[in-house]
């Protein structure tokens, strides 16, 4: 499982609650955003941001309630990995945003069989003692996804808590102007090899993290040593070459430019998908350390080369292309900092409803 380490934005640690009975009394009565928030894209940030606005006004803690595993993975465990942000990466984003507590319920047969009324009464009201909920317009809950945002509003009136429903949030990103933000569009951008467009939808750089594993050291033998990472419970973008930036555990709070390849290494007859990152001006044995790899821009699809010399020449060109892309002011890392509640409220002085 990927290791959690992150950009030092927030000093207050978010509490993670696995069982409602273990909820810190100080977090009871909180304002709670409901959802899975895969990717924590700009639409998700509005949901949690508005919960934060209400929490500040009520002087209540800001909570997020989500489930693990994702219901889609629970009902189709053999399906292709689709997660934009595996669990630990999602916690990283929520903590940096300013969430006080993440309630992570284990999604199983018992939880999935609760009716909307049972979930609302047993979990939200009696368990969390919530004062207010915030959900997106397309929120569904309860057995068979029978409950929607309107259901929650009506149940909230009966059980004496407030509900805010966030409408569709539209955007003007290239190729999708006017559409609402969605995790599906982010996945589509990554499957097309467009991490910059994915980042525009997310509002932060798309990131893979995990331990650096021992590889076959082919890159080192041809003059381009790589840090190898396995995909765990994460969507795999289009196979190809990308401009990236990395933070490596133990290397200090620095960003390291590089170039990465996702694919099966067809020139060497590979079969397993692997992520290999060549980091510029970064040497040494780093096996076992954890790395956060931020995908900045796509360079080219993966291809098979006729010779090792042709591969080496192309990698050299890819490195130069990556340096140009990473030097573009539009791709400056601070252009898309990790989202925070403070930044959200400053850029959205009024609620969108």
Structure tokens at 143: 């057995």
Q: Is the pLDDT of residue 19 over 70?
A: yes
Q: Give the count of beta carbons closer than 10 Å to the beta carbon of residue 295.
A: 24
pTM score of the predicted model? 0.89
**pLDDT value of position 3:** 31
The pLDDT of 54-70, averaged and rounded, is: 95
- pLDDT tens track for 179-191: 788 899 999 999 9
Catalytic residues: 276
- Among residues 192, 7, 4, the alpha carbon closest in space to that of 86 is found at 4
Name the residue with tokens 């590979």: 270
User: What's residue 269's pLDDT?
Assistant: 60
pLDDT at residue 1 greater than cutoff 60: no
pLDDT band at 218 (very low <50, low <70, confident <90, very high): low
Tell which residue, 87, 31, 38, has the closest CA to residue 232: 87
Q: Which residue has the tokens 């934060």?
A: 52
Percent of the chain's residues with pLDDT above 90: 67
Which residues does 145 contact at the CB level (< 8 Å), separation at least 6? none
Q: If one looks up domain 198-335 in CATH, what number appears?
A: 2.40.30.30
**125 DSSP assignment:** I
The per-residue pLDDT for 8 is: 38
Domain boundaries, the chain: 15-170, 198-335
User: Chain-wide mean pLDDT for the chain?
Assistant: 88
CA angle centred on 237, ends 302 and 2, rounded to 5° = 120
Instruction: State the Cα torsion 83-88-91-96 to the nearest 10°.
Output: -110
Q: What is the pLDDT of residues 237-260, one digit of tens each?
A: 999 999 999 999 887 788 999 999
Contact between residue 318 and residue 73 where contact means Cβ atoms under 8 Å apart: no
- Tens of pLDDT along 285-312? 677 788 999 999 999 999 888 888 888 8
CATH 3.40.50.620 assigned to domain 15-170? The reply is yes
The span from the CA of 108 to the CA of 298, in Å, is 38
């Amino acid at each position: 499982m990927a290791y959690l380490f992150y950009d030092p934005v927030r000093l207050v640690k978010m509490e993670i609650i696995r069982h409602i009975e273990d909820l810190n009394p100080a977090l009871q009565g909180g304002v709670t955003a409901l959802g899975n928030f895969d990717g924590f894209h700009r639409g998700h940030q509005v949901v949690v941001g508005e919960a934060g606005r209400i929490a500040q006004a009520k002087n209540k803690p800001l909570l997020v309630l989500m489930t693990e595993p994702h219901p889609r993975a629970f009902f189709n465990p053999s399906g292709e990995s689709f997660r934009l942000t595996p669990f630990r990466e999602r916690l990283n984003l929520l903590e940096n945003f300013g969430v006080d507590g993440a309630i992570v319920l284990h999604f199983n047969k018992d939880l999935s069989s609760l009716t909307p009324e049972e979930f609302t009464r047993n979990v939200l009201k009696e368990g969390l003692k919530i004062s207010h909920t915030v959900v997106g317009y397309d929120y569904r809950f309860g057995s068979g996804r029978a409950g929607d945002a309107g259901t929650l509003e009506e149940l909230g009136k009966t059980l004496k808590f407030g509900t805010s429903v966030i409408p569709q949030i539209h955007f003007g990103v290239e190729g999708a102007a006017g559409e609402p933000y969605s995790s599906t569009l982010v996945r589509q951008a990554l499957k097309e090899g467009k991490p910059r467009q994915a980042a525009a939808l997310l509002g932060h750089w798309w990131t893979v993290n995990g331990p650096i594993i021992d590889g076959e050291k082919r890159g080192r033998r041809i003059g381009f040593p790589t840090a190898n990472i396995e995909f765990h419970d994460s969507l795999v973008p289009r196979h190809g070459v990308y401009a990236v930036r990395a933070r490596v555990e133990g290397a200090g709070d620095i960003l390291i430019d590089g170039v990465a390849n996702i694919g099966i290494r067809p020139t060497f007859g590979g079969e397993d998908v692997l992520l290999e990152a060549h980091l510029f001006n970064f040497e040494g044995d780093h096996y076992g350390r954890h790395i956060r790899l931020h995908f900045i821009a796509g360079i080219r699809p993966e291809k098979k080369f006729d010779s090792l010399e042709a591969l080496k020449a192309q990698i050299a060109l890819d490195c130069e292309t990556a340096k140009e892309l990473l030097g573009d002011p539009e791709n400056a890392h601070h252009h898309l900092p990790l989202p925070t509640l403070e930044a959200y409220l400053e850029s959205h002085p009024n609620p969108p409803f």
